[in-house]
Every structure is written in structure tokens, then in C-alpha cells.
Amino acid sequence: MPLPTNRRRFLGTTASLACAGLGGLRGAQAAEAYPAQMITYFVPYAAGGLSDQVARMLGDGVMRATGKNMLVDYKLGAGGSISVDTLLRAPADGYTVLGATNGFFGVIPFINKVKYDPLADLVPAALLGDAFLPLVVSPRVPVKSFAELVTYAKAHPGKLNFGSGGIGSGNHLSGEYLKRRLGIDIVHVPYKGGTAALQAALAGDIDMIFGPESADSVLAGKLKAVAVMGTQRWSKLPDVPTSEELGLKNWELRSWHTVVVSSKTPPDVVAQINGLVNRIMSAPEMAARLRAAGLEPSPLSVAALADRARADHKAFGQLIRDLGITAT
């Protein structure tokens, strides 16, 4: 039997209000402030290096800004692939993240067999900072400047070596790129992490390294910095000229640190991560700590970071193919 008109109107209105209430509840849940619980942050490199330092800075910032803990969990091995594999197996809710570098987009997939597609499976959610890259030499090398280093290397082909944090690392590619640009013959010696390479330089086991981890040793007079690669001087080593100033124009390699999440993470959560990290890392006190560690804070949007990842995937991939770099 048909319901009276007024009864149908009442039920329709009640149903509409109920749906609106449920929709509002869902909206409130979707817009829940991030983070609402502890964050697990994977570090793919050994403790003590730049990635570890930045992770602890960010964890401190997250606690101060939100009152939530950030657990730093080391996932080493397979050139970083283990950390990515573990990330992609975790729930894509923004509470498991990876502290990566642009090497995860532009280097590792080209020199290691990986199970992931960096552009399809990973999203760089927030920029932690752009890395300064000083070129540092051991006191056993009889040079005092970049020009003298180049002259010495050309006069002694194959005699000088340079250490790195491993095959395909930013400092490895920098050394290979320097060889290509200057036409010099220097030998690569890979270590398990930038800290190990630094210790080798301090012990006199290698002649050169690239990387911000060396700054304190330079300031202590234990190593000599002859250039900061790129166009910007580093405030921690203000008297060291850039490669651009020294005549080595258009240094193409760059290194940046980023918080990465699974591409299945909801976009609104990615946006909240971006906003939170940008606020934390651009605060004056944190920015000063970052610069002291070797990173220049450079807040970027998620879209701008995606553009960076695609550009480095193309440029670094081509460089690796041209240089014939492989993991073995």
C-alpha cells in the first residue's frame, strides 16, 4: 500500500540527513590531523651518516610539532632495495615512510635488480634538503687547491683514488663525473657508507672523498677541501670556492634527501606529510641544524618533487648508461 505523501517526505528527509551525517563523519575521518599515531621512518644507510642525522632531526621536529613519536628503523642492504621492499609491504597510510635520496629514483634502479618501479610505486612526499658536496683531499696528496689537484691527477694517471659510500652512491657518481669532465684517471674505492669512506680518508687509506660528512674534519685541519661542487657556497665552509667559480661550469649532478611513501598512499595524507615536513624543516632553528649537517632546506610541493624525480630518473639513468656503471 502506498505511503502517504507526508510520510514519504519524512522518510526521504530523514534518509538525507542520515547520509549527510555519515558523509560528514567520513569527511572528518579523512581530514584527521596527521600524524595521529607513531610514524616508522626507515633509514636505508648505516647509522652515523647524513641520512641518519636528518632522520633524528626530523623525529625531534615531529615530536615538538605534534607530540607524536617517530621511530627510526634501519633497513640496510641491496643498495637500498630492502628498505623500499619493506615500505611497499607496509600499509600505505603515511605511517611507514622512507628517508631516501634522489638516488632511489635515478640511480639504484639502473645499477641493481629491483622489484619496484620508482616512478610508479614511490612518491617523494617532502623535501628534506639539497645536499652540499665538498670535494676533500687527504693531507698526503701534495696539493692545496682544485687547480693543483687537477694538474697533479693529469700528471699521475691512475695514482689517485677516491672513496665513496658504495657503488652508485652520489659521491661515486660525482667522482666518475669529475673524471669524465676533466679527462683524469682516478680510481674508485667503494665503502659501506659515507662514514666508512670518511674514516678511510682520515686514516690515509684513500686520497679523496665527496660529501658533507667531511666538513668537521676539514675545520679541524685533518682534511683539505678544495671545492664545493655546484653553484652555491656552503656556510659551514664559507672560504671554499664552488666548482662554478673555479671554471667547472654546469655541474649536472645533484643530491637531495626526501621523505618517500608508497604511491598507494591517499593524496590528502601525502599533502599533510608535505606540509608538516616543510614547516618543520624551514623553521629557523631546524634550518640552521640542516645547513650545519650539509643540507640546504628547500621546501617544495609534491608536484615539484615529482618533477624532480622524473628529471633525475632520466638524467642519471643516461649518465649511468654512458659511464657503464654496474653493481658488480
> 275-328: per-residue pLDDT in tens?
999 999 999 999 999 998 889 998 999 999 999 999 999 988 988 888 888 765
Residue 108 domain flag: yes
Q: With CA atoms as reference, report the closest residue to 293 among 235, 243, 222.
A: 235
Q: How many CB atoms neighbour CB 190 within 10 A?
A: 16
97 and 166 share one domain: no
pLDDT at residue 20 is higher than 50: no
In the listed set 176, 209, 228, which residue is the last one of a domain according to the structure? 228
pLDDT digits (tens, 9 = 90+) for 38-51: 999 999 988 888 89
Tell me, yes or no, whether 145 and 220 share the same domain. Answer: yes
Domain hosting residue 154, numbered range? 134-228
CB 92 within 8 A of CB 261: yes
Cell of 75: 633497513
- According to the model, what pLDDT value does residue 6 have? 41
Same domain, 125 and 139: no
- pLDDT of 328: 55
Do the strands 161-164 and 187-190 form a parallel or antiparallel pair, or are they unpaired?
parallel
Give the integer Cα–Cα distance in Å for 189 and 198.
12
CA distance 308 to 130: 12
83-105: pLDDT as tens digits = 999 999 999 999 999 999 999 99
Omega prior to 91 cis, within 30 of 0: no
Query: Which pLDDT belongs to residue 31?
Result: 55
Please tell me whether residues 222 and 178 are part of one structural domain. Answer: yes
Give the Cβ contact number of residue 279 at 10 Å.
14
Distance CA 201, CA 123 (A): 35
**CATH number of the domain residue 195 falls in:** 3.40.190.10
| pLDDT of the residue at 178 | 94
pLDDT at 2: 44
Residue 10, pLDDT score: 33
pTM for the whole structure: 0.78
Instruction: Indicate whether 247 belongs to any domain.
Output: no
Structural domain includes residue 31: no
Residues 303, 270, single domain; the answer is yes
* Angle at alpha carbon of residue 115, lines to 112 and 119, rounded to 5°: 90
Centre a 10 Å sphere on the Cβ of residue 139 and count the other Cβ atoms it contains. 12
The pairing of strands 39-43 and 96-101 is parallel
Q: CA nearest 80: which of 102, 62, 58?
A: 102
pLDDT at 65 over 60: yes
> Would you say the C-alpha torsion 224, 230, 231, 235 has a positive or negative sign?
negative
Q: Is residue 18 included in any domain, yes or no?
A: no
Pick the more confident residue, 3 or 307.
Answer: 307
The residue whose grid cell reads 643516461 is 318
Nearest to 75 by CA among 102, 51, 45: 45
pLDDT of 129 over the 80 cut: yes
The rounded distance, in Å, linking the Cα atoms of 263 and 146 is: 43
Higher pLDDT, 13 or 211: 211
CATH of the domain at 292: 3.40.190.150
Same domain, 125 and 54: yes
User: Do 111 and 77 share a structural domain?
Assistant: yes
Angle between helices 284-293 and 267-282 (to 10 degrees): 80
- Report the pLDDT value the prediction gives residue 154, as an integer from 0 to 100: 97
CA dihedral 282, 283, 287, 290 (to 10 degrees): -90
Q: Residue by residue, what is the 3-state secondary structure of the chain?
A: CCCCHHHHHHHHHHHHHHHHHHHHHHHHHHCCCCCCCCEEEEECCCCCCHHHHHHHHHHHHHHHHHCCCEEEEECCCHHHHHHHHHHHHCCCCCCEEEEEECHHHHCHHHHCCCCCCHHHHEEEEEEEEEECCEEEECCCCCCCCHHHHHHHHHHCCCCCEEEECCCCCHHHHHHHHHHHHHCCCCEEEECCCHHHHHHHHHCCCCCEEECHHHHHHHHCCCCEEEEECCCCCCCCCCCCCECCCCCCCCCCCCCEEEEEEECCCCHHHHHHHHHHHHHHHHCHHHHHHHHHHCEECCCCCHHHHHHHHHHHHHHHHHHHHHHCCCCC
6 within domain boundaries: no
- Asked if 104 and 146 sit in the same domain, the reply is no
Q: Would the pLDDT of 221 be above 60?
A: yes
Identify the domain boundary among 228, 246, 263: 228
- Domain contains 223: yes
pLDDT value, residue 13:
37
Summarised one tens digit per residue, pLDDT across range 237-263 is 999 999 999 999 988 788 899 999 999
Provide the number of structural domains found in the chain.
2
Kindly state whether residue 280 falls inside one of the protein's structural domains.
Answer: yes
